[in-house]
């Protein structure tokens, strides 16, 4: 809702502007609305990322057309790879072109320092469940100096920005979660998570042959500290998920499931990788409660599961469709 509100507000405020600028590696909460706007005649310009998931700022600058671009939107930290976008630089470019700049910061808030006052960001979306708040509550930061129109009209709640009875319990929960997240950041959470993530990746790469990191593995600062997306060559990702789930390790393929079939990750493919690699990739995420002991146990469990799959499901033998 926050992402949709940001996009729709910009298009309503600037109906004469028909260009939307974004990237090929956005979350579906941005990509799917953009597909809809495209079907109604908008020019949606999706800028590429490279094999490591790095965003092309030069292409972004060239896509911005003063007086014609309604809004530009970039994900701050990719939800699948954890790659961080150059948000401050992109926001500056958007301002120079006279266009609004929005960022989907759902993955970033609570894990990475953010100061909207110094960022040049026009609109920023966040979701409570990503920082230990209740599910179903989020927020949209709106710079007070920009034009804005609400998505919902009615009772005029939330200063006429979102009509409807407020979810008071959710709002209080999000506020408390934000307070605790700010405290954790001040106490060095990013460094602790980076240490755990690097420990996990080092353990996996040393114990399993051929594993590669999806993202810039040479620059740990370029990725969100709690996210690790790994490619396991010759392993069916869904089969691995099933074995790990049974062993008590939670992870994700980073792709959408529909009608019983797992689609290869759109983000991994947008980076220039094959569908086979996308299907053999798995995302692991850490929380502020994760411990070194859990990391070491997870490495052992993953290595055992991958070894088992490489024996019983060699490359090209097919994919798991259902656990039943």
Which domains occur in the chain, in start order? 2-182 (3.40.640.10), 189-312 (3.90.1150.10)
pLDDT value for 128: 96
If you search the block for the tokens 């699948």, which residue do you land on? Answer: 80
| Six token digits for residue 320 | 């798991």
Q: What is the DSSP secondary structure assignment for residue 98, as one 8-state letter?
A: T
Residues designated catalytic: 257
pLDDT value for 314: 60
Summarised one tens digit per residue, pLDDT across range 140-160 is 999 999 999 988 888 888 888
Q: 91 exposed, middle or buried (CB, 10 Å; 0-12, 13-18, 19+)?
A: buried
Nearest Cα to 123, choosing from 97, 99, 158? 99
Task: Answer with the residue of higher pLDDT: 321 or 139.
Answer: 139
pLDDT value for 320: 46
| Six token digits for residue 28 | 């579906």
The SS3 of residue 132 is coil
Task: Answer with the residue of higher pLDDT: 47 or 324.
Answer: 47
């Amino acid at each position: 809702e926050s992402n949709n509100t940001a996009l729709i507000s910009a298009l309503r405020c600037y109906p004469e502007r028909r260009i939307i600028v974004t990237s090929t590696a956005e979350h579906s909460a941005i990509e799917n609305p953009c597909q809809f706007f495209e079907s109604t005649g908008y020019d949606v310009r999706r800028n590429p990322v490279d094999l490591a998931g790095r965003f092309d700022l030069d292409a972004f600058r060239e896509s911005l057309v003063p007086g014609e671009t309604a809004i530009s939107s970039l994900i701050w930290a990719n939800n699948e790879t954890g790659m961080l976008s150059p948000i401050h630089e992109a926001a500056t470019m958007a301002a120079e072109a006279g266009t609004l700049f929005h960022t989907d910061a759902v993955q970033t808030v609570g894990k990475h320092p953010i100061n909207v006052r110094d960022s040049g960001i026009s609109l920023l979306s966040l979701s409570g469940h990503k920082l230990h708040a209740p599910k179903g509550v989020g927020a949209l930061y709106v710079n007070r100096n920009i034009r804005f129109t609400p998505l919902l009209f009615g009772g005029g709640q939330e200063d006429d920005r979102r009509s409807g009875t407020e979810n008071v319990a959710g709002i209080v929960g999000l506020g408390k979660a934000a307070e605790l997240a700010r405290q954790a950041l001040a106490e060095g959470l990013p460094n602790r998570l980076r240490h755990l993530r690097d420990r996990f990746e080092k353990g996996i790469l040393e114990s399993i042959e051929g594993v590669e990191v999806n993202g810039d593995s040479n620059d740990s600062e370029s990725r969100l500290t709690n996210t690790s997306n790994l490619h396991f060559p010759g392993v069916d990702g869904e089969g691995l998920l099933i074995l790990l789930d049974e062993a008590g390790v939670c992870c994700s393929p980073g792709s959408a499931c529909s009608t019983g079939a797992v689609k290869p990750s759109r983000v991994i493919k947008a980076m220039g990788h094959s569908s086979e690699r996308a299907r053999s990739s798995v995302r692991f995420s850490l929380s502020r409660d994760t411990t070194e002991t859990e990391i070491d146990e997870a490495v052992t469990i993953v290595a055992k599961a991958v070894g088992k799959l490489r024996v019983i499901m060699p490359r090209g033998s097919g994919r798991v469709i259902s656990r039943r």
